[in-house]
Amino acid sequence: MNDTSTLKPGHIQGETGIWEMVIGLEIHAQISSKSKLFSGASASFGSEANRNVSLVDAAMPGMLPVINEFCVEQAVKTGLALNAKINNVSVFDRKNYFYADLPQGYQISQFTKPIVGEGEIIVDLDDGEQTTIGIERLHLEQDAGKSLHDQHPTKSYIDLNRTGVALMEIVSKPDIRSPQEAGAYVKKIRSILRYIGACDGNMEEGSLRADCNVSVRKSGEEFGTRCEIKNLNSIRFIIQAIQSEAERQVDILEEGGTIDQETRLFDTSTGETRSMRSKEDAHDYRYFPDPDLLPLEFTESWVQDIKEKLPELPDSLKKRLVKDFGITAYDASILVEEKDYVDFYQQAANGRDGKLTANWMITELFGALKKDNLSFSESPITSENLGELISLISNGTISGKIAKEVFSEMMKSKKSPSEIVKEKGLEQVSDDSEILKLIDQVISDNQDKVNEYLSGKDKLFGFFVGQVMKLSQGKANPGIVNKLLKEKLK
Amino acid sequence: MSELLDLNLVEASKALKNKEISSLELTKAYLKSISDTSSLGAYLEIVEDKAISMAKESDKKLIDGIARPLEGIPIGIKDMFCTKDIKTTASSKILENFIPTYESTVTQNLWNDGAVILGKLSCDEFAMGSSNETAAKGNVINPWLKNKKMSPGGSSGGSAAAVAARSALAATGTDTGGSIRQPAAFCGITGLKPTYGRCSRWGIVAFSSSLDQAGPLTRTVSDAALMLNSMAGYDQKDSTSANLKMPDLIDYLNKGIKGKKIGIPKEYTQDGISEDIVKFYEKSIGWLRDEGAEIIPVSLPHTKYALPAYYIIAPAEASSNLARYDGVRYGARQEASSLDEMYELTRGNGFGDEVKRRIMIGTYVLSSGYYDAYYLKAQKVRRLIKEDFENVYKKVDYILTPSTPTTSFELGKKQDPLTMYLNDIFTVPASLAGLPGISLPVGLDKSGLPIGIQLIANSFDEAGLISTARVLEMSAEFNFIADGAAK
Amino acid sequence: MPNKNTIVDVPTVNKIARLSRLDISEGNKESLTNDLNNILGFVAQLDEVDTSNVEPLASVTGHKLPLRNDDVNDGNIEHLVLKNAPESSSGFFVVPKVIE
């Protein structure tokens, strides 16, 4: 193998040259509605089996679908947030196939005329670069139920609670070129969905899942045959699955083989993909317009109303943070990843040093939360308290070093920083005479070092600063210590 | 007893309200007549106890003077309507033990208006057929020329036979391509298919969703008006239901047709239509002219293509609508070791031949590579057929046609599915266009079988349809009773 | 549409039966194939109609799709949902094991 460290992400070095990945994603996002897309049963998660099931969801004879207005609004909102074309007339089609957790024998979806057409989003990569990914379409569809295969040796158990829950399927163009880009794309979509409240983005509970279409080609060549990896429910798995699938395809192609277009599953235990169904069992979905529903139509003014109510979205917020708070684009992109982050940041940084606040939030707070295995919403430190800490640093009440001590106390006790500083007497000492006393003590304790310094060993200056700080228990203002020491040791 | 059976719905209703008769005695008379005519096979399920208790309930309301429009009227329900706690099979083996936990909107409307249920009426399996011979429990016999065992028509064959045999005062039916009008014609009664969207489809076993429509089968036009008054109405649970108020049809019974324009489409008098029917068709035209209507020859040029378009669209929708009968949540499951095998055996065993044929046709015309050539083509032709009617309704108010090309035929005589399909040649075009149509008896052919004539109105003009049909009914004076009817 | 008499053959019928999840006995396949060819031959008449500028018609209804409010007003009826089930256990429908 050649040295892979120089390869770009998304490139694979083969015997015959460098292969490039071509990736397209289908994201299934559960709409945060109270009831299902076509029935009044609850769309909530985690109930007893078949509790959230209406006669419509169970596809009893003669039952009919009636569409949920909230779900339509969320799809339009999402379309607008993806800078996409809103189709004022769209059609629901039936996708016909048999499966135990698909009671109707068809899924109501949108095939030829989706509610949202082409759009695009800007994706932020880890190296601070940006790339634009095209959106092919967004459509509304029903989720399927759940089959449990491990309850009985010869039987499967069927729970229809999820049957009919509203999903948006967001289909990207095959514009993605590396697993990392795919991960960043999903992050961005998730962030947008959370901003507008269309989906909670919870991947563990399955409210956001992705199917990844992966193929490989030599640079500049036509797209290769693609495989679809189904149902990935974490960004880490998406990245792993794409990498492993692309490598599998390269291995086959390099040995002179061909890729079968097929659906594959990602095995999280092996980190590899495996074939899900064979070609001879290929589906023929027989899409046709659902005769129980009419075309979905809305007016331009209805769309405009929704547009006007859209919250500020990550891209525009990011620009505003850079401008208003003087932080770097990279820091801003981390802060806008989640609506909760931005809200927290804006409260903490309001009227204070924006850069300093961003540093403390991204490095210290995120780091501490990660270490303590806490989610952002569980943070013991509120935005007010972080803001106060920033103020204490900025106005010289405490030094950066003391601030770290105060910070860890805040994580533990949830107390406000001024309370902690007061309790522990951690105010910074900036008074010249107080500090001179400390300097005199250090000089008298270290006369030999003083002589060495005066005879030219300049490096020892740091030692004296350290000794003074130590003596002050870290409370002396380091700037003043520096200045006074220089004068004293002239 | 026989005097009770002689009363039509309007007369019985009047007698009930005048306390000349009680619902209990009327209902009992019908229960007896069901048993007297049981050899016809019209009923799949008789709910005697329920009928008696509903009748008693109605009698209380009648005594209290708070009678509702159909108070105490005993009726039969086509087995396509889901009825709560009463077995509903759609005449199919696959649903042989299905007991709905819900009531269809249309039947609920009828009970809310005071009607009394007698039982569930046989039909072609999943309403697919024109002779009632595809019913899992066997055919129904037309009460006319009873000994010759004639077909009652289909798919609402049990409903038509029961009304003609006087074992129900009225019945509900569903019409997809003629399933109310054709059996009404074969059994010498009145059958009305309303405008698509007039009656809710909620709780009716679906055959072809873009065509299915419920309607009444009755002895007279006035009876049909009363029944439809109760059956129709907007339903939020059916997205295709029309949010339009239907006027009280009783107000339109005696409006007459002076100055109305009746279109006579030239395409409905082709070869293959029986001479006796042509004769009565011409007579009917004359009667309407005599009553002051203007007769105008019109053309519906795509008529010929209605049947082939229908036999693509209806099976396509059916193939998807019937996918839910998989033996998982209800229905007669065939045990097997794998899920797919269970599906195939359950469906292979549970569906009859005609249903299987239509599922196969529907699957084929929707499948990859054939969709455009068949399904999309049929939808385009459907538009042309609808436009034909729209053009004609610029010139005329109503269209008059024969209901069927022939009168009833002997059971078992038409083995070839395609020959059977031709029965619906005159009823299918209005179905594709979603228009209201009514068939009413105007005479008997040489062998003594009833002849039906069809009137087609513009969308949502059931009121005008009733006015016109009533004029024709009065002129025709069809007062015959089937030899197989209860005495 | 293809030629009238040989539109579908037995292998095609097998394929459609499989897609439709219908078990068709061997003995019935010939006659079913024959019936399907007759019907498909009959509907092939539509070829005669010029539909080049015609939009397909999926619904005759003139009104717009009605929308309902996002209210939870159904469900909690598992006893009704499961009532007609051929096989159920602890609130689940039960089917022969699905092998993925």
Residue of C15, C88, C93 to mutate for A, most A C-beta atoms under 10 A: C93
Query: How far apart are the C-alpha atoms of B401 and B457, rounded to whole Å?
Result: 11
AA letter at C36: L
Question: For residue B183, is pLDDT > 90?
Answer: yes
In this structure, the answer to whether residues A369 and A417 fall within a common structural domain is yes
pLDDT of A438 > 60? The answer is yes
Query: Would you say residue A203 has pLDDT above 80?
Result: yes
**pLDDT (mean) for B20-28:** 98
- A32: tokens are 């945060």
Q: Do A103 and B324 touch (CB under 8 A)?
A: yes
pTM of the full predicted structure? 0.91
Mean pLDDT of B325-347: 96
Q: Nearest-CA distance from C78 to chain B in Å?
A: 12
A317, A295: one domain: no
- Distance (Å, whole) CA A142 – CA A119: 23
- Residue A330: pLDDT band with limits 50, 70, 90: confident
Mean pLDDT of A228-253: 95
Mutation site, A292, A293, A294, A296, interface B, largest B CB count within 10 A: A292
Q: Are residues A207 and A113 in the same domain?
A: yes
**How many interchain CB pairs under 8 A, A with C?**
132
The residue ranges of every structural domain in chain C are 1-48
Instruction: Map tokens 């005199």 to a residue.
Output: A440
Residues A384 and A237 in one domain: no
> Which one-letter amino acid corresponds to residue B38?
S
DSSP B204: B
Contact A51 C75 (CB under 8 A): yes
Cα–Cα distance for residue pair B449/A329, rounded to 1 Å: 88
Q: What is the pLDDT of residue A277?
A: 66
Element (H, E) at A385: helix A383-394
Query: For residue A258, how many other CB atoms are within 10 A of its CB?
Result: 10
pLDDT attached to residue B283? 98
- Closest residue in C to A295 (Cα) is C65
For residues A256 and A348, membership in a common domain is answered with no
B231-242 mean pLDDT: 97
Q: Which domain, by its residues, includes A476? A: 432-488
Mean pLDDT across A232-259: 95
Q: Does B377 touch chain C (CB under 8 A)?
A: yes
- Asked if pLDDT for residue B467 goes beyond 50, the answer is yes
3-state helix, strand, coil in chain B (%, to 5): 45, 15, 45
Q: Is the pLDDT of residue B2 over 70?
A: no
Is residue A209 domain-shared with residue A344, that is, in the same domain?
Answer: no
State residue A278's pLDDT score.
55
Give the residue from A403, A424, A445 where a domain finishes.
Answer: A424
Helix (H) or strand (E) holding A214: strand A208-218
Considering the domain architecture, whether residues A233 and A381 belong to the same structural domain is answered as no
Question: What CATH code is carried by the domain that includes residue A482?
Answer: 1.10.10.410
Tokens 């999820």 belong to A162
Q: What is the pLDDT of residue A5?
A: 59
C10–B contact, CB cutoff 8 A? no
Radius of gyration of chain B (CA): 21
pLDDT at A110 exceeding the cut of 80: yes
Of C21, C64, C81, nearest to A53 by CB-CB distance is C81
Pick the CATH number of C1-48 from 3.40.1620, 1.10.20, 1.20.1630, 3.30.450: 1.10.20
- pLDDT given for residue A1 in this prediction: 44
pLDDT-derived band at B134 (thresholds 50, 70, 90) equals: very high
Distance from chain centroid for Cα A254: 35
> What integer best gives the mean pLDDT of chain A?
92
Residue B470 in this model has a pLDDT that exceeds 70: yes
Mean pLDDT of all residues in A128-156: 94
Confidence at residue B414, expressed as pLDDT on a 0 to 100 scale? 76
**Residues A351-388 pLDDT 10s:** 999 999 999 999 999 999 999 999 999 999 999 999 99
Residues of chain A above pLDDT 90, percent: 73
- Count CA atoms closer than 13 A to B212's CA, side-chain side: 29
B78 tagged catalytic: yes
Q: Which two tokens stand for residue A275?
A: 């074939």
Average pLDDT over residues B9-25: 97
Cα–Cα distance for residue pair A283/A263, rounded to 1 Å? 11
Task: Please indicate, yes or no, whether residues A128 and A180 belong to a single structural domain of this protein.
Answer: yes
- Please name the residue of chain C whose CA is at the shortest distance from the CA of residue A54: C75
pLDDT band at C1 (very low <50, low <70, confident <90, very high): very low
How far apart CA B442 and CA B451 sit, in angstroms, is 6
pLDDT of residue A183: 96
- Minimum-distance CB partner of B205 among A58, A62, A156: A62
A472 preceded by a cis bond (ω within 30 of 0): no
Tell me the pLDDT band of B449, cut-offs 50, 70 and 90.
Answer: very high
* Domain final residue pick, A424, A454, A471: A424
At residue A397, the pLDDT reads 84
Question: How much of chain B, in percent, has pLDDT values that exceed 70?
Answer: 100
Catalytic residue status for B131: no
Pair A129, A111 in one domain? yes
Query: What is the nearest CA distance from A51 to chain B, expressed in angstroms?
Result: 15
Instruction: Select which of B155, B200, B284, B408 is catalytic.
Output: B155
SS3 per residue for A148-199: ECCCCCCEEEEECCCCCCEEEEEEECCCECCHHHHHHHHHHHHHHHHHHCCC
Residue where one domain finishes, among candidates A424, A440, A472: A424
| Contacting residues of B for C42, CB less than 8 Å apart | 307-308, 311, 418, 421
- In this predicted complex, what is the ipTM? 0.97
Cα nearest neighbour of B359 on chain C: C20
pLDDT of residue B12: 98
Averaged confidence pLDDT in chain B:
97
Range in A23-32, A441-450, B200-209, B361-370 the model is least confident about: A441-450
**Do the Cβ atoms of A284 and B367 come within 8 Å?**
yes
Q: Using the Cα atoms of residue A222, residue A228, residue A232 and residue A236 in order, give the sign of their dihedral.
A: negative
The per-residue pLDDT for A39 is: 98
Asked if B237 is an interface residue toward chain C (Cβ–Cβ < 8 A), one would say: no
pLDDT tens digits, one per residue of A263-321:
999 999 999 999 886 544 568 999 999 999 999 999 999 999 999 999 999 999 999 99
Is B209 one of the catalytic residues? Answer: no
Structural domains in chain B?
A: 2-257 (3.90.1300.10)
CA A168 from centroid of its chain's CA atoms: 18
Domain count for chain A: 3
Residue C3: per-residue pLDDT: 47
Closest CA to A74 of A43, A30, A107: A30
B222 neighbors B183 (Cβ within 8 angstroms): no
CA distance A232 to A170: 14
